[in-house]
C-alpha cells in the first residue's frame, strides 16, 4: 500500500525503517522521505508504525536469580 504519494513510500518501507531502528514517526519519515512535502501521510505513517510495533517480537528479559 502506498503510504506517501509525494515520495512514493509504501508500507513495506515504513516497516523496514522501523526494523532498522527508526522508532518514532519523525525518524521513520526522515529515513523514508515520507511526510516531507505535503504532510498528508503523517497519520498513515503513524498507523503503520503503531501496527508494526504491536506485532514486532520483543526480546525476552533475563531476570537475575530466576530459576529456569
**CA distance readout (Å), 37 to 4, 5, 7, 29, 64:** 9, 10, 8, 11, 49
In tens, the pLDDT along 3-38 reads 999 999 999 999 999 999 999 999 999 999 999 999
- The structural domains of the chain, with segments of one domain joined by +, span 2-55
Q: Residue 56's closest CA among 9, 19, 14?
A: 19
Cell of 28: 521513520
Give the domain 2-55 fold: Arc Repressor Mutant, subunit A (1.10.10)
> How confident is residue 67, by pLDDT bands cut at 50, 70 and 90?
low
Q: Residue 1's closest CA among 19, 20, 18, 14?
A: 14
Global pTM value: 0.80
> How confident is residue 59, by pLDDT bands cut at 50, 70 and 90?
low
Amino acid at each position: 500500500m502506498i503510504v506517501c504519494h509525494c515520495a512514493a513510500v509504501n508500507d513495506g518501507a515504513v516497516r523496514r525503517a522501523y526494523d532498522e531502528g527508526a522508532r518514532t514517526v519523525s525518524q521513520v519519515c526522515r529515513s523514508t522521505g515520507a511526510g516531507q512535502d505535503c504532510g498528508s501521510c503523517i497519520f498513515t505513517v503513524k498507523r503503520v508504525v503503531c501496527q508494526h510495533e504491536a506485532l514486532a517480537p520483543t526480546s525476552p528479559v533475563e531476570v537475575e536469580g530466576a530459576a529456569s
